[in-house]
Amino acid sequence: MSKHEDNDPLGNTADLTEQEVPSGVDRRRFLMRSAVIGAAAVMTGRTVSANSRTLTAFNESLTQQPGPAPPLDKNLNVVKKGQGPVMTVIDEFYKVGPGPSSSHTIGPMRITYDFYQRAAKLPADKLAKATKLQVNLFGSLSATGKGHGTERAALAGLIGKEPATVDPLFLDSLRDKPDQVFPVKLGSSTINVSLKDVVYDATKGNFHHPNTMTVKLLAGNEVLLEQEYYSVGGGFIEWKGYTPPKKNAPKYPFRTMKELRAHADNNKITIAQVLLANEMSIMGRSADEVYAFVDKIINAMTATVKSGLSMSEDDVLPGPIKLHSKAATVYKRAMDDANVADRSVGMLSACALAASEENARGHLVITAPTGGSAGVMPSLVYALVEVRKVPLQKVREGMLAAAAIGYLCKHHATLSAAEGGCQAEIGVASSMAAALVATAHDAESLVVENAAESALEHHLGMTCDPVAGYVQVPCVERCAFGAVKAWTAYAIASNEIASRHRVNLDATIMALAETAKDMNSKYKETSEAGLALSVVLC
């Protein structure tokens, strides 16, 4: 109870903020409700005692407590995985595919492609009866799928197209001519499929994962084959009964950053060398094979920045927001800036905008770790390769160290905005990018960790609220901020006394995981709150 027991409904600010907040309610919400009740009393000429105001504010704060999202199914591999050593490998992690979302575009396309492969293996007599293919989207896939082109991606997978090789122009043609019908050959049957076969189903329910979808092969009403799938973030997919593929043991097993750094420091090698050895042992590949893949990703990242910068300043991104492309304008003006520091920040931002706008256009991007964050890593890669002319080998090592950060975040927290909000996308991307820059500059392992930690720490709590369900606002600019924060994190980590850095990466990843669990589901890629509500499209 407040010590100010007078009946002044408004009192002064000190009266308000000094009120004792009852346990079990959010302090800010309680104080705001209390102030609003007092103001309403003044406006309506009523008298409200401090006692009564406190009681009403308490009750209203209780009823308006934001609820966390329902828990994920504990049987999902993406939930169980944190128990053993990190087993993710580089070509599972960095994936090339069409934007705008790894979980809502690349994942669904991989899912329907997978279903098509399964269906093709059914006995001939079953296939002979098949009449229809149907995809149902649930949860976040249904809530924001339209803005992510989920139905087009799902249809493309059904007709046998894969994310890495699909022509983005094909996906554009589905948007421009939505009535197109495609024949799918399954055994002796030919089934005609179109966008009408992709159903936007329930957005709310007791799903195993927020990004759930089912795919069915039907003979009239009879179900010949049905599979429930989950797009679990970063383009990774699982299905009901999923078991991860068998892999060899890593040379340097690690579960945490502490263990990873211990391998590096005890063996007097770098974090990148630990990762390289593990990639080779887990998948039985040579160093040349691993680097050949890394080179492909580096080239694809610089290509996406160049392609984005080459777009006209008058280009308008697809969708109802009518957002103008700004990468080329920012780049040109930044390069004309006489101040070197301003020029650098502007250039880095423009490169992130460029790759992110390519994602918004549905063009090919690289998940690092996701489509929404696809501007962050490429802008740093471009800056290192094209501007600073850092030797290629250093950038390769940076890509491996960056992957290690992404693996750890996937292992213990999430890369999915539908599970953890934007901190899981742009936050992880920025953390990876900080490790990339630090490694490319030959930083010791502790500095790499500190840079990655710092970048992630300062994205904790960031929500996902894409306006109209399109990965544009706040996503495009957010990539630029993620890129600049990554460089800031490196600048601090490489200039501070490394051993005095107070927070370790493992603690911050744990905070990411816990914050993800507590975050209200409205802020997890559902477009039900935040900017998605406050921005009015005319």
What is the binding site for ligand SF4 (CB under 6 A)?
372-373, 417, 422, 425-426, 464, 466, 471, 474-475, 478, 525
Cis peptide before 378 (omega within 30 of 0): no
Provide the pairing of β-strand 212-219 with 222-233: antiparallel
Round to whole Å and give the CA distance between 73 and 489: 35
Nearer to ligand SF4, 250 or 482 (CB): 482
Nearer to ligand SF4, 214 or 521 (CB): 521
Provide the pairing of β-strand 96-98 with 198-200: unpaired
To ligand SF4, the closest distance from the beta carbon of 111 in angstroms equals 19
Provide the pairing of β-strand 364-366 with 96-98: antiparallel
* Nearest one of 452, 379, 372, 382 to 418, comparing CA atoms: 372
Nearer to ligand SF4, 102 or 278 (CB): 102
Residue 23: count other Cβ atoms within 10 Å of its Cβ. 6
Nearer to ligand SF4, 283 or 529 (CB): 529
The DSSP 8-state label assigned to residue 226 in this structure reads: E
Residue 220: count other Cβ atoms within 10 Å of its Cβ. 9
Q: Is 225 helix (H, G, I), strand (E, B) or coil?
A: strand
Q: Which residue is nearest to ligand SF4 (CB)?
A: 372
Round to whole Å and give the CA distance between 249 and 85: 9
Assigned token pair, 355: 């790759």
List the helix and strand counts (H, then E) for the chain.
23, 9
To ligand SF4, the closest distance from the beta carbon of 214 in angstroms equals 23
Nearer to ligand SF4, 472 or 494 (CB): 472
To ligand SF4, the closest distance from the beta carbon of 458 in angstroms equals 15
Nearer to ligand SF4, 130 or 171 (CB): 171
Residue with tokens 């369900």: 469
To ligand SF4, the closest distance from the beta carbon of 373 in angstroms equals 6
Nearer to ligand SF4, 38 or 100 (CB): 100
Residue with tokens 């894969």: 162
To ligand SF4, the closest distance from the beta carbon of 381 in angstroms equals 18
233 touches 421 (CB < 8 A) = no
To ligand SF4, the closest distance from the beta carbon of 4 in angstroms equals 42
* Nearest one of 236, 246, 259, 267 to 85, comparing CA atoms: 259
Assigned token pair, 449: 């960790």
Q: Is 498 helix (H, G, I), strand (E, B) or coil?
A: helix
Nearer to ligand SF4, 464 or 489 (CB): 464
To ligand SF4, the closest distance from the beta carbon of 500 in angstroms equals 32
Nearer to ligand SF4, 422 or 451 (CB): 422
* Nearest one of 419, 310, 294, 319 to 358, comparing CA atoms: 310
The DSSP 8-state label assigned to residue 205 in this structure reads: S
To ligand SF4, the closest distance from the beta carbon of 532 in angstroms equals 9
To ligand SF4, the closest distance from the beta carbon of 120 in angstroms equals 33
To ligand SF4, the closest distance from the beta carbon of 135 in angstroms equals 21
Nearer to ligand SF4, 250 or 362 (CB): 362
Round to whole Å and give the CA distance between 83 and 206: 25
